[in-house]
A and B are shown apart, each in its own frame.
Chain A
Amino acid sequence: DAGITQSPRYKITETGRQVTLMCHQTWSHSYMFWYRQDLGHGLRLIYYSAAADITDKGEVPDGYVVSRSKTENFPLTLESATRSQTSVYFCASKDFTSGASTDTQYFGPGTRLTVL
């Protein structure tokens, strides 16, 4: 299906375990983003990628790792999950044009992660 998908939609894990959240987009958008959404904090950018093999830190990168070997995929890994990483995680993508500041970001449906 066309669009941006995330998997899993729900995940429960334990402290110290490694968890990978998947994001896949079918538009060949150059930019991809990972956000976390917490009550009282709104959306916070974790990492973003401008193209395959190019990634950069956002506002809250600690404890997370990303990679982007293919344009369409942007997995987010929690190397050793902590309770503070319990959150809803959103992936987004956008294309890059000459008017990049006006480009719309398209969001996936989110992954609700609970760390026990």
Chain B
Amino acid sequence: GNSVTQMEGPVTLSEEAFLTINCTYTATGYPSLFWYVQYPGEGLQLLLKATKADDKGSNKGFEATYRKETTSFHLEKGSVQVSDSAVYFCALSDLRSNYQLIWGAGTKLIIKP
């Protein structure tokens, strides 16, 4: 079945560092891919998404490129801020999952000033 694997956290970085959070997926179809973010004490919100191979999603300085050849959707940001501290979830959705989101376990990001 479909699945999503994220790098384990927590990931701790200093402010202005480069961020990469790895996400790989297993899917038999052609899924859409998502990154959601959960700030402390809040619900999840969509950060970015990509719907087909080679698409790049971007938002708030974050980017992720849908790589079908490596089945990956790694999240990157060039210069992180303390306010980026949150838990980041990678997810996929496709017809075979009946459009339910299949979630990764989440990666906690801690940015130190």
Contacts and interface: CB of A to CB of B under 8 A. Distances in A.
Interface of A: 31, 33, 40-45, 48, 58, 90, 92, 99-110
A24 to B, nearest CB: 14
Given A41-B105, A104-B46, A105-B44, 20 more contacts: A40-B105, A42-B106, A43-B44, A43-B89, A58-B100, A99-B51, A100-B99, A101-B51, A101-B95, A102-B32, A102-B49, A102-B51, A102-B93, A104-B49, A105-B46, A105-B101, A106-B45, A107-B44, A107-B45, A109-B42
A106 B46 CA distance: 8
Of listed A31, A40, A58, A105, residue having the most chain B CB within 10 A: A105
B73 interface: no
Contacts, number: 53
B104 A103 contact: no
A19 to B, nearest CB: 20
Contacts of B95: 101
A44 B89 CA distance: 12
A104 B44 CA distance: 11
A76 B10 CA distance: 31
Interface of B: 31-32, 34, 42-46, 49, 51, 89, 93-95, 99-101, 103-106
Given A45-B100, A48-B100, A109 B43 contact: yes
A40 to B, nearest CB: 8
Contacts of A106: 45-46
A101 B93 contact: yes
Contacts of B100: 33, 45, 48, 58
Contact of B43 (A48, A58, A108): A108
